[in-house]
Amino acid sequence: MDEKELIRKIIKGEKEYFREIIKKYKNVIYNHSRNFLRNAQEAEDVTQEIFINIFNNLSRFRGDSKLSTWIYRITVNTCKNKLKQMKRLKANVVEEIDDENDETRKIIEDIRENEEKEPDNIFKQKNLRNAIYENIKTLPAEQRTVIILRDIDGLSYEEIAKIMKISVPAVKSKLFRARENLRHKLEKEGII
C-alpha cells in the first residue's frame, strides 16, 4: 500500500493503519531526536509527542512533499521547541539555586554531570564525539539544524531545503558556515 492510500485510510478513521507509519518512522524519528537533544529519555518522550502531532495533523498533510519530509519538519520543530523548554527549565533551576548555598549547587551540578554520563553516551571516541556534540549545541539554531540533518542524519541538500523551507544554495551556505564555526570552536579548544 502506498503512502497516499495509507494516509487516506487513516484520515477516514481506520486508525490501525497508523501503526505502519510508526513502524516505518519510529527509529528515524528517535535517532534524529536523540542526536538533536543528546538525551535518550528526552528523545523517547519527544518521539511519542511527534507521533501524536503526526496523527493529529495528518489531515493537514497536503502531499506537496514526501511524507518523510513532512515528518522531518515536525520532528525538527518539536525538537527545537523541546530545547527551548529545557533551556527555560534550566534557567529556572539556576535562579532557584542562586538563593541556596554552595553545597546545594554542587549537588545539582553532580546530578547534571551524572545525567551526561548515561551508558549510551559512552563510545569509542568519547572525548572527540562529545566535544563535537557539545560544540554543535552552541551553534546558532539554523546552523545546528542543518549540520545535524546533513552530517548526522545524512539527508540530501534537497530534503534539508524542504524541511527548513529554504533554497538548496541557502542550505549549502548555512552548512558551510556551520562547519566553519564548528571547526573554529574545536581548534580553539585544541581538539583538532
| Residue 31, amino acid | N
Write out the three cell numbers for 35. 542526536
Q: Which is higher by pLDDT, 39 or 107?
A: 39
Rounded to two decimals, the pTM is 0.61
Domain coordinates in residue numbering, the chain:
123-192
The per-residue pLDDT for range 59-114, each reduced to its tens digit, is 999 888 889 999 999 999 999 888 888 777 765 555 444 444 454 445 545 555 65
Average pLDDT of the chain, as a whole number: 81
* The CATH number of domain 123-192 is 3.10.129.10: no
Mean pLDDT of 126-130: 71
Q: Decide: 120 and 40 in contact? Cβ < 8 Å.
A: yes
For 99-125, where are the alpha helices, taking DSSP H only?
102-116
Write out the three cell numbers for 162. 524542504
